[in-house]
Amino acid sequence: MNKNTSTTELTVAQFAKEAKVSHDTVLRGLHSGKIKGRKKNPFAQKTAFFIPSSELERFKKLAEGESESNGHSKSSDN
């Protein structure tokens, strides 16, 4: 973990790597509110985000549910 963040927060890059999604996907999620995080500097337009590690598990469950509802279930009923 980065020394500037606590052990319960992830950077966008760390979150993307763990969630197996792109950096841009994480940023879109943050901007749309699907992923909860905080700006390093809330007054700056372009700044780093910190995301609670609890969001990673919530995001994974959300993504898993979306893939199953789209017919991409991990199990096959053939």
Tens of pLDDT along 17-52?
Answer: 999 999 999 999 999 999 999 999 988 888 899 999
**Angle between helical axes of 53-69 and 12-19 (0-180°, round to 10):** 40
On the question of pLDDT at 3 being above 70, the answer is no
| 25, two tokens | 């996907």
Give the C-alpha separation, 49 to 31, whole Å: 10
Q: What is the average pLDDT value for the chain, to the nearest integer?
A: 84
On the question of pLDDT at 1 being above 50, the answer is no
CB 12 within 8 A of CB 23: yes
Better-scored residue on pLDDT, 41 or 7: 41
Verdict on whether the full-model pTM lies above 0.85: no
